[in-house]
Structure 1
Amino acid sequence: MHQRRCKVVCAMHIHGAVNNFLYSASFLNPLNWVKEKLVPSIREKPSQEEVEASKKQAAKEGNRSVFEATPGPLVRQARGKWGLAIPVKKGVHVPNKPHKPRPTAHKYSTANFKISHRKLNMLGRQIAGKPVDYAILQMQFSEKRASSRIMNMLATAKDHAVRYKRLSEPKLVVAESWVSKGPRGPKRLEPRGRGHFGIRTHPNSKLTVVLKEGKTVEEQKKEERARKIRKIVSAAATREDVPIRNPSPTSLGAAVHSEQLWKLAESKFQSFENTAIVRTVELGGSVVHVTTTYAIKATQPGAKVYTIALGLEEKQKTSWLEVKVKGQQTPLDVVHYPLDTSRNFQLLDVALPDVLSLNSTLNLVLETLQTHATFPWPKQASQKEDQALKYQTDLFVLSPYHTGVQRTKVKAPTPRVISYTTPENLQDFTLDAPASKQGATVTYGPYSDIPTSSNNKFIKEHQQPITVHYFHEQPVLEISKLTRTAEISHWGANLNIQDNLVLHNAGPTLKGHFSRLEHQSQSYFKRPAPHALPALTLHLPPGIRNTYYYDLIGNVSTSRLRIAPAAPKNQRASRYSVLELRPRYPILGGWNYTFTLGWDAPLSDSAVYDRSTGKYIVEVPIMTPIPGAVVNSAEVSIVLPEGATGVEFAPPFPAVANRISTHTTYLDSMGRPMLTFEYENLTIMHAQSIFVSYKVPLAAHLRKPFVVGVAFFSVFALAIVGRRINLTIHQKTL
């Protein structure tokens, strides 16, 4: 019985195994095999007791999960040579790797470019220790060739330091800057005279800077002020850096009233601020060229008019003024404020070409020519001595707006600068040297954070004069009196111009007597005295004829004229006739020379006929420019043809006075209209033309030949009548 039961059970097991094999085998039922192997099956979630039991079993066997380890500091595996792990002994503590500290500096450099390391080092010293924004501004207004490259490098370094190293932008300063020599470029041949040659190598250099967080300009000023206050020691007294307490009622009321009036006046000057002001003074003899660049920023939308302030002395010296947008040639309209004698400045309104939106910027360029701004010092010099001049101006450029940075450059003709003024008490505007000299340039500034300066309070407290004493190697010329007469003749188709000039040498007066031997020796060795004028070169119009030049004694033959051909019709002249004048004697300091210069020119070169209006339009130049000279007083007279009517004129700039009179000359019956214009302090920029338009009727054209014919026939008639009149007392009788 038992054996039979075992056989049945074994048969059942064998039957089940065969069925499983038949239905699960891949070669008999591949779909079930794929379903069994690939289709996910549902797993039952274990109970909490089973999970805890499995964790205890794993912990006992040492197979605990990493995520279930006891929390604590991670232990760094020690590494030896070639990066191999070093087994750590039990009980030995391996320290953790410290966190990377926050960066405190950023290093950046330019690429190697063609420049001498000495030249590049000067720019590196200029920006070392300065705030990065201040250094960028210095490079923006620098005239060096490499300044733009360094400015871009500083801007990139600043952006990287703020973006990648999280440094504070307002506190970034150029902590270090140095110059490294680059690789030498290929050698090149340099041709020289007499078949020789040399070897030229172009040096390469680069500039490296390190930006760090430092103190801002305001913090430096505050510390400097505190340091100077601590130095002040007084006996039995304590200094307090606070405003004065208990002032007198009178002074307090006057101060409050004055402040209220000024705030009311400057309330309309809040639409702009000056990012930077750079003034460049180019020294000369009688004429000084001043260029001031205003980098302005609109603080209110819709700004249209910008106001410029000039000191009273500067305004009195200025004979020519023009305002342009930087990079453009069209001058802007300028309106002068009424002169207020109670204030030490004058305001000018400049109409901007476009309305500026909020925070938009614009660069304006103010160009002025100052006359009689220099004076000789010493006032006397011998023929062998050099000529020295002095120039004096104000330190600050006045402005009704707040100014971020301001700088003044005074450029002498040569590096021979004798002395210059060093301003004092400028701790509120700069911590560096207030003035410096490099070559022929004296730089004042830069000065930072300048408040509104066009007020009497600022002028009294901070404005101060500066003086530059320099050598000048050219004579200082002035035209004391210029009388120009331009006569228009239609019958001769001619324009005659005659100038009567009184030339004055405004340099140092001659010490002692004039030595002809010394003058001849200087001419022979080609080392003339700088304050002596041996000759003068003038540019005259092309196509002139019948040129004459004489002085009080008579004709001067020691001159040379090179006439340029006349320009084609409807084209501007590109060439000039050159006249080289050599006076009878050299004109030394304090000497005068009076002479007359004149010429004839074809009227067709200066006049046109407008058929629509029937008028003639004639262009008459005001003066012949003399390089480096100023005309103290000028009188320009234009004589029109006889019988001219409907006279109109358009001067290029207003005259001091003008009038119309009658000029009578030979063969005139009624006289000719004459226009007279009077000017003062003319420079080379005033060498422009006056346009005159008028009508000449046919009767006026025929009047002169009719008068000449009548006069001619009258003479014949008188002769005929005279021949027939017998004036003898006793007549002969036959």
Structure 2
Amino acid sequence: MVNMRPLAIATAVFSFASSAFCVESNLTKPLISKLILPSSFKPPQSFKNVNLVHVVSLEKGYPKEAINVQIENVAKTPQDEYFIPFTARQMETIGGLEVKDRKDAESGVFEVEAVEFDTTSDTQFYRIKLPSPLAPKAQQTLGISFSYLSALTPLPASIAQQDKQFLVYEFSAYCPSSYVTLKQKTEVKFPTTNIPEYTILPGGKGAPESPQKQGAKFTYGSFSELPAGAVEVVKVRYEFTKPLIHVSRLERDIEVSHWGGNVAFEERYVMTNRAANLSKPFSRVEWASQQYYNPPTSAVKELKFPLRVGSLDPYFTDVIGNVSTSRFRSNKREANLEIKPRYPVFGGWNYPFRIGWNADLKKYLRQLNTGTGYVLNVPFLEGPKQPEGIEYEHIELRVILPEGAENVQYSTTLPLVSTSTSLHRTFMDTTGRTALTLTAINIVDDYRERELIVMYDYPLLAGYRKPIVIFSSVLVLFITAWGIGTLDVSIKGKKRP
């Protein structure tokens, strides 16, 4: 839960943020619901879907789906709960589910909650809480978007070093819904026009068979009235000769130093390529010969990190040590870090590494006009920006504030599963620095640059704590050295009478 500060502080926060957003967003709440329903639960038929467009995007290394649906309240009383069904497997891999009003973008995201069920049921739900109850016979247009991690399967599972890669994705041509749908269609967007296999659905009542093809876009439907829970499983196989970059764990540290006027970033990655495995041992000669004409490949050759302007002192290391295959370009308009792993990362291979850089604290921190409050505005997630996209299974972000920081509060629109505050002890600390830890799961790179705003108090005395400690330590050392120097430690024999 996000604790809100007074209106004056919130105003200062918004003036500092590069773009406004709703600080009361439900997405800062854990996705673990407190609502537990029996496995026999069925959503009340309070709504009907008047028109629904289901868009499945396969243009990146993870499927992204969007549901644009016009709903109508068919109950006799106002309703504010809308349910979306998913299978148990989908609930484990779904990420970044957001719901907005398609006709009122300024209303922000709606409250979304994962409903817990008995394990005996394979159908589970997300519950959408409408901002205000929808009156009987009234309509509203919802925009629902989400992604799935680890949902694409290479077929064949093993390929030669120079072969093309094909992926398989299975979904329902009828968008799964808890309510009757009067009209709907499903659009599938592919990265190329090379789609050798796909499910064909026969047309009915004079309608043509599905899908209708238009370049790299397929359309299933449109379909007339369908009952709640209707499913029509289809499968597509398409060319995607790019890596499937999966980060199983990302640890991101942001360390703030008021005295140094610096903010230090460090990111530690455990990266896996989920692409097709090699059917033969890796050939360095074959790989080197390919680099002259740069053909498409499912291996990870390089990663590009667009950093904030003004970033400096980057470094790139792995488990062996420093990696020299990197390039950093920085000027008044951009700051780009380009790294090449120590070896090309093919399907099934892992590559743990870390990067880091520094930045001027003034670009991220503002002091409030009254009191001892500060506002820190940093990206929650930066990471590589790749055309094939990147999926993150587990993200742990630590914001390490100066020693003595108190009354720490935060706001973000990224879905979180847990938050905690602890003490982080480093050199010359007394009590330790305040560290805010935020955890997110199943996130994709579409969330790059989502803002994290941290508000905290930093009393004047706390700011002078470290200089006092350093001065006291030096003074004690000096007095100790002087005291030792005055001791007479010479060995003298006793004088005989």
Change (3 A) 1:610 1:728: same
Determine whether 1:351 maps to 2:130. Answer: yes
Q: Displacement, 1:503?
A: 1.9
Q: Are the aligned partners of 1:662 and 1:673 in contact in 2 as well (CA < 8 Å)?
A: yes
Q: Are the aligned partners of 1:274 and 1:404 in contact in 2 as well (CA < 8 Å)?
A: yes
Q: Are the aligned partners of 1:337 and 1:349 in contact in 2 as well (CA < 8 Å)?
A: no
Q: Distance in 2 between matches of 1:524 and 1:416?
A: 25
> What residue in structure 2 maps to residue 552 of structure 1?
319
Q: Displacement, 1:526?
A: 2.0
Q: 1:340 aligns with which of 101, 117, 128?
A: 117
Determine whether 1:683 maps to 2:441. Answer: no
Q: Displacement, 1:638?
A: 1.5
Q: 2:233 aligns with which of 455, 465, 468?
A: 465
TM-score normalised to the size of structure 1? 0.57
Determine whether 1:291 maps to 2:70. Answer: no
Determine whether 1:700 maps to 2:462. Answer: yes
Change (3 A) 1:364 1:697: closer
> What residue in structure 2 maps to residue 644 of structure 1?
405
Determine whether 1:621 maps to 2:379. Answer: yes
Q: Which moved more, 1:371-380 or 1:334-343?
A: 334-343
1:319-468 to 2 correspondences below 5 Å? 319-330=95-106, 331-336=108-113, 338-341=115-118, 342=121, 344-351=123-130, 358=137, 361-423=139-201, 432-451=208-227, 453-454=228-229, 458=230, 463-468=231-236
Change (3 A) 1:448 1:701: same
Q: Displacement, 1:319?
A: 0.2
Q: Distance in 2 between matches of 1:481 and 1:556?
A: 20
Q: Distance in 1 between matches of 2:364 and 2:291?
A: 41
Determine whether 1:597 maps to 2:376. Answer: no
> What residue in structure 2 maps to residue 581 of structure 1?
339
- 1:449-490: CA deviations, max 9, x gaps? 212x14xxx5xxxx2422111110221101122111111111
> What residue in structure 2 maps to residue 309 of structure 1?
84
Q: 1:477 aligns with which of 245, 265, 282?
A: 245
Q: Displacement, 1:732?
A: 9.8
Q: Are the aligned partners of 2:303 and 2:340 in contact in 1 as well (CA < 8 Å)?
A: yes
Q: Displacement, 1:500?
A: 1.2
- 1:262-286: CA deviations, max 9, x gaps? 9x966x534x432321111010444
Instruction: Note the aligned Cα RMSD (angstroms).
Output: 2.9
Q: For residue 196 of structure 2, give the secondary structure of its aligned residue in structure 1.
A: strand
Larger radius of gyration: 1
Q: Are the aligned partners of 1:286 and 1:372 in contact in 2 as well (CA < 8 Å)?
A: no
> What residue in structure 2 maps to residue 505 of structure 1?
273
- 1:139-193: CA deviations, max 9, x gaps? xxxxxxxxxxxxxxxxxxxxxxxxxxxxxxxxxxxxxxxxxxxxxxxxxxxxxxx
Determine whether 1:494 maps to 2:262. Answer: yes
> What residue in structure 2 maps to residue 194 of structure 1?
none
TM-score normalised to the size of structure 2? 0.82
Q: Displacement, 1:634?
A: 1.7
Q: Displacement, 1:321?
A: 1.6
Q: Are the aligned partners of 1:508 and 1:531 in contact in 2 as well (CA < 8 Å)?
A: yes
Answer 1 or 2: which has greater helix percent: 1
> What residue in structure 1 maps to residue 487 of structure 2?
725
Q: Are the aligned partners of 1:423 and 1:464 in contact in 2 as well (CA < 8 Å)?
A: no
Q: 2:45 aligns with which of 266, 269, 272?
A: 269
Q: Are the aligned partners of 2:98 and 2:112 in contact in 1 as well (CA < 8 Å)?
A: no
Q: Which moved more, 1:590-599 or 1:545-554?
A: 545-554
| Higher RCO, Cα 8 Å, sep 6+ | 2
Change (3 A) 1:643 1:578: same
- The size of the alignment, in residue pairs, is 450
Q: Which moved more, 1:718-727 or 1:650-659?
A: 650-659
Q: Displacement, 1:309?
A: 2.0
Q: For residue 383 of structure 1, give the secondary structure of its aligned residue in structure 2.
A: coil
Change (3 A) 1:413 1:353: farther
Q: For residue 396 of structure 1, give the secondary structure of its aligned residue in structure 2.
A: coil
Change (3 A) 1:699 1:298: closer
Q: Displacement, 1:386?
A: 0.9
Q: Are the aligned partners of 1:306 and 1:352 in contact in 2 as well (CA < 8 Å)?
A: no
Q: 1:672 aligns with which of 433, 449, 454?
A: 433
Change (3 A) 1:279 1:329: same
Gaps of 5+ in 2: 1-39
Regions of 4+ moved over 6 Å? none
Q: 2:54 aligns with which of 253, 257, 279?
A: 279
1:85-234 to 2 correspondences below 5 Å? none
Q: Distance in 2 between matches of 1:536 and 1:332?
A: 32
Q: Distance in 1 between matches of 2:334 and 2:76?
A: 50
Gaps of 5+ in 1: 1-261, 566-574
Q: Are the aligned partners of 1:649 and 1:690 in contact in 2 as well (CA < 8 Å)?
A: yes
